[in-house]
Amino acid sequence: MIHHIPNVLSKAQVQQFRQVMDQVDWVNGKVTAGTLSATVKHNQQLPEDHPLTHELSNIILEALGKHELFLSAAIPLDIIPPLFNRYQASEAFGMHVDNAIRRIRGSNQRLRTDLSCTLFLSEPDEYEGGELVIEDTYGYHDVKLPAGDLLLYPATSLHEVTAISSGCRVASFFWVQSMIRDNADRHMLFNLDQSIQKLRMELGDTHAQVIQLTNMYHNLIRKWAEL
């Protein structure tokens, strides 16, 4: 399932990100691409080992750790630290699939990429083209979100970023290993959790239905979680 996660970063945070990012020299985006995706990847990235990349990544990770909708949808076990890319005139990233396993920078730890994330750092009216296109069972979805919003989608999906015809598209991208490996199981838990939250607001935390459904949710987590 594709999830739109709003307001991961505030507009003020996005503005601050953009100001400091403009002061750094960007590198060819192929440096983090796999063998096949490198042939269709044409963009720029902040250097993976630059102190600013670490600083901004930590801000995003802290924000995600407090974002209830993200936590409900992703059920994260671990997150590969965010990276940052930029697309300008004619740059694009053709149709590809993300690597199944990725290494956490600066370590030998590897994570399974269950979910892909794009956090938009440019407003939609700042650029033409540059849509994130995701293929799923129901066809193709063109996505261009407000700055500060995040798109969360299965890493198994084929996807692309269409060519920029004008302006500049800046984003952060990263991957999540979920405690729940299976997409269908994770989606079921998300729907159950959202229903529980609505019932809590309507009936209160001590209502018998709320307690019963919460018990079911946690027992399913126990059944499916991989730690």
pLDDT in tens, 69-78: 999 999 999 9
Q: Is 96 annotated as a binding residue?
A: yes
What is the pLDDT averaged over residues 34-52?
A: 88
Pair (19, 131) in one structural domain: yes
What is the pLDDT averaged over residues 15-41?
A: 88
| pLDDT at residue 137 is higher than 90 | no
| pLDDT at residue 19 is higher than 90 | yes
| Rounded Cα gap, residues 139 and 46, in angstroms | 32
Q: Is 218 annotated as a binding residue?
A: no
Q: Tell me: the pLDDT tens digits for 161-187?
A: 999 999 999 999 999 999 999 999 999
Q: What is the pLDDT of residue 220?
A: 98
CATH number, residue 126: 2.60.120.620
Q: Is 159 annotated as a binding residue?
A: yes
Q: Tell me: the pLDDT tens digits for 102-114?
A: 998 888 899 999 9
Q: What is the pLDDT confidence band of residue 200, given thresholds at 50, 70 and 90?
A: very high
What is the pLDDT averaged over residues 156-161?
A: 96
Pair (216, 171) in one structural domain: no
Pair (101, 128) in one structural domain: yes
Pair (7, 90) in one structural domain: yes
Q: What is the pLDDT confidence band of residue 39, given thresholds at 50, 70 and 90?
A: confident
Pair (28, 72) in one structural domain: yes
Q: Is 98 annotated as a binding residue?
A: yes
Domains: count for the chain: 2
| pLDDT at residue 34 is higher than 70 | no
| pLDDT at residue 94 is higher than 90 | yes
Pair (151, 190) in one structural domain: no
Pair (173, 192) in one structural domain: no
Pair (22, 76) in one structural domain: yes
Q: Could you list the residue range(s) of the whole structural domain that residue 198 is in?
A: 183-224
Pair (192, 139) in one structural domain: no
| pLDDT at residue 117 is higher than 70 | yes
Pair (68, 30) in one structural domain: yes
What is the pLDDT averaged over residues 139-146?
A: 95
